[in-house]
Structure formats: structure tokens, C-alpha cells
Structure 1
Amino acid sequence: MNAEPRLVLATHNQGKVRELRQMLRGHVPGLDVDTQVVDAAAVGAPDVVESGVTFAENSLLKANAVARATGLLAIADDSGLAVEVLGGAPGIFSARWSGRHGDDRANTELLLAQLSDVPDEFRQAAFVCAASLAGPEGEIAVESGRLEGTLLREPRGDGGFGYDPILQPIGESRSCAELSPEEKNAISHRGRAFAALLPAVVAALS
């Protein structure tokens, strides 16, 4: 079987790669998802500066850059937390809200402090994800997914990452960080965006 890569996910996150492989398994005749669906490092794809002003723009920037650099179909995503009373912030700045990129604790503490006086009935928020598919010739499709919820007043749970401990999904009594990985993946913004993108991926690979 041909083991040359056919689809690259513009990330170094192996969890995302596993998720995409699982979604594609059995959908494309002749596609060996374990060897032909790879991450950015496997094909020497470049790191891309996320200079867009929306999740969709950033995901497209990454997908287009990686597709052009590798000559392969490429998928990229960008995601974050949108808080209603903050007009959608932190948004694309979610990972660096405190000024230090990737400092989950500092980001969460700052956000909770900023919302300390906001009544519970106005603490609506959502995790948002945009996922893009591009080929060497350019954009093919962009899809989005949302996980709606409300913000808790203090972190709960040890699972997940980022703002998971303070977002309680609608209809749930637990935070995202208190859900099992399987429960979270079933309702997650990223899972929904990837699922919406799947038909375009299947068509492009078939």
C-alpha cells in the first residue's frame, strides 16, 4: 500500500491528529490513515504566524501556507473562548490573554477577575473553532463549530486544558474539565468543526 502522505494537519498536537484519523477511517477508499494522514513535523511544514483577526482567517493562513509548502492537502484550525459581555473576547487572543502565551492559569485568573462583578445570568460564553482545508492551489473549504456554555466563578476539574475548568456546557452540571475526553470530544467545538469539514476532505481525497 502507498504510504506517501496525502493529508497534513497543520499542528504538532498528536491528539488532533488521532482525532482526524479516527474521523477519516473507512471514509476514503485506499487511504491508510495511519501513514497518509500526518502532522506538520512529519513533512517539514513551516510554522505559520497567526496574523489574522478572526479564527477563520488564522486557520486559512495556516492551511494555505502548509499546503503550498508541502504540495499536499492541508487542514488547520484556530480556536478560543468568546465571552458575550466582552464582545467576543478573548477570542483569537485566548492563548495569550494574560500577555504570556500558553499560560493557562494566568489567562484564566485574569479573565475571572475581569468578570468578577458580572451576574451569573450574564456569563454566557462559547468555545469557537474554525477549521480550514486547502490544497496547493488555494482554499477549498472553511467550517466552524461552537460549544455554548456559561462561565463558572472558579475553576473545577483536572481534565482538558486552557479555559476548560471554567466553562460549563449548556445542559451540563460539570465543567469541560470534569468531562471525560470522550464526553468532551462528542460535543466539542473542534469536533463539530472537523465533522462539518469532513465531506470536503473526503471529496478532495477521493
Structure 2
Amino acid sequence: MTRRLLVASTNKGKLRDFAIAAGADVNLVPLPGLEGIAAPDEDEDTFVGNARIKATYYSRFAPGEIVIADDSGLEVDALDGAPGVRSARYADDIKFVGEGSADVRNNACLMAALVGVEARAGRYRCALVAARDGVVLAVGDGTVEGRILVAAQGYGGFGYDPYFLPEGATGSMAEIDSTERLLLSHRGRALRDLLPKLML
């Protein structure tokens, strides 16, 4: 029996990563009407805290359904864990001057922060929370270790993917194919951690 989970995201990259990891047994569907729902404040200082806020909040808009929400981002050791939970807002937070999309500006900001830095270890981290009717049901966690490249490689993915080289990968997160991404994606790992806890 295929079980349906609603995903509190319209990000096509995230939805793709989750769908690849879910396989045929779980049907992941974007939360209906999500675009018209005001977003909650994500004011926690941990990924799991922000994911919990979103999952409990959005689940109240779909009574009886299980809603999953994530918070994820890039942690760089040389930057004391930044961008971290502020990954999507990194450039704005430090008033970085630049042009282009949020992804372009965030990546330019990251490169500027790492000028002259040789130790570029970091990781992608994802916390994934499932909730129903405002109550948390389970929490999943996924991490992929790697390092930050000095220049972008590849045109796939989104966010910091062109600059992140996962351990053991054949290319950056923006270069690898869906099979390799299934094994390495922090979101995929978080979903695979979460699903058994829901006993679907």
C-alpha cells in the first residue's frame, strides 16, 4: 500500500531529492495551497527547531494528514558552522553587496568569506520533521560530509551545490546524477531516517 505524505515546500530541488529517496512505496505531494499560506517565522538556532516550527504549523492546514517539513543548509568548519541555519539568507544577513538571485549572491558571499582559506571542510545537514494536526510524530536527520570548492562545478542542483564536493563523489553536488545523489543527498538520508519511525 502506498502512503501519502504532504511536503511543506514548493522548492523543486527539495521535492526531487525527497522523491528520489522515497521510492515507490511513499507518494510525496506538495501541500495543497501552500503558496497562499503565510510562512511562519523560522527563529530557532537549530535545523531541527526550524523544521519543527514549519511541520507543526503547516500540518494544521491539512487536518488528518501527515505533513513533513525540513530545514537544511551548509555548515563550513572554517566559518564556525556558518552559513548554517541562515544558509538561504546568508548574503542578506551580512549585507553582502552583489547582484543576481539569492543563490548567486549566497555563493559569492561564501567565496568571499573563504578567500585564502585552505581548510574547506564542511557538510550539508538536513533535519526533517513529520507532524499531524500540529503534533510532531517523528524526526529524521541526514548529513553528508565534504569540502567547499574554490570554483563552481556543474549546472545541476541548486543553492550551494556547485561549490560542494561530497566525500566519495565523482563530482560536485551539481554534477552527480540521480543515482549518486540518492546515495549522497542529505535530504534523502533524512527521509530514509524518518520513514521507519513513522512505520508507514
TM-score by length of 2: 0.83
Using the alignment, how far apart are the partners of 1:20 and 1:172 within structure 2? Answer: 19
Larger radius of gyration: 1
Is 1:155 the equivalent of 2:152?
A: yes
Query: Is the contact between residue 82 and residue 126 of structure 1 (CA under 8 Å) also seen in structure 2?
Result: yes
Change (3 A) 1:102 1:147: farther
Task: Tell me which residue corresponds to 2:45.
Answer: 53
Higher relative contact order (CA 8 A, sep 6+): 2
Query: Is the contact between residue 46 and residue 66 of structure 1 (CA under 8 Å) also seen in structure 2?
Result: no
User: How many Å apart are 1:182 and its aligned residue?
Assistant: 3.0
Query: Is the contact between residue 17 and residue 185 of structure 2 (CA under 8 Å) also seen in structure 1?
Result: no
Task: Tell me which residue corresponds to 2:59.
Answer: 67
User: How many Å apart are 1:45 and its aligned residue?
Assistant: 5.5
Using the alignment, how far apart are the partners of 1:85 and 1:15 within structure 2? Answer: 27
Task: Tell me which residue corresponds to 1:109.
Answer: 108
Other structure's SS at 1:52 match: coil
Aligned pairs, how many? 189
Task: Tell me which residue corresponds to 1:25.
Answer: 24
Q: Percent identity?
A: 38
Which one is further off, 39-48 or 86-95?
A: 39-48
Task: Tell me which residue corresponds to 1:10.
Answer: 8
Change (3 A) 1:184 1:145: same
Other structure's SS at 1:70 match: coil
RMSD between superposed Cα atoms in Å: 2.5
Using the alignment, how far apart are the partners of 1:141 and 1:38 within structure 2? Answer: 18
Change (3 A) 1:21 1:158: closer
In structure 1, runs of 5+ residues without a counterpart are 28-32
Task: Tell me which residue corresponds to 1:85.
Answer: 78
Q: Which amino acid aligns with 2:177?
A: S
Task: Tell me which residue corresponds to 1:39.
Answer: 30
Query: Is the contact between residue 63 and residue 75 of structure 1 (CA under 8 Å) also seen in structure 2?
Result: yes
Using the alignment, how far apart are the partners of 2:122 and 2:47 within structure 1? Answer: 16
User: How many Å apart are 1:68 and its aligned residue?
Assistant: 2.2
Other structure's SS at 1:178 match: coil
User: How many Å apart are 1:181 and its aligned residue?
Assistant: 3.1
In structure 2, runs of 5+ residues without a counterpart are 94-99
User: How many Å apart are 1:180 and its aligned residue?
Assistant: 1.6
Change (3 A) 1:152 1:16: closer
Q: Which has the higher helix share?
A: 1
Instruction: After superposition, give the CA deviation of every residue in 1:123-180 in whole Å (9 maximum; x if it has no partner).
Output: 1010110000112151111121111101111111111111111111112352111212
Tell me which of 120, 124, 131 is aligned to 1:123: 120
Other structure's SS at 1:147 match: strand
Other structure's SS at 2:137 match: strand
Change (3 A) 1:54 1:74: same
Q: Which amino acid aligns with 2:55?
A: A
User: How many Å apart are 1:188 and its aligned residue?
Assistant: 0.6
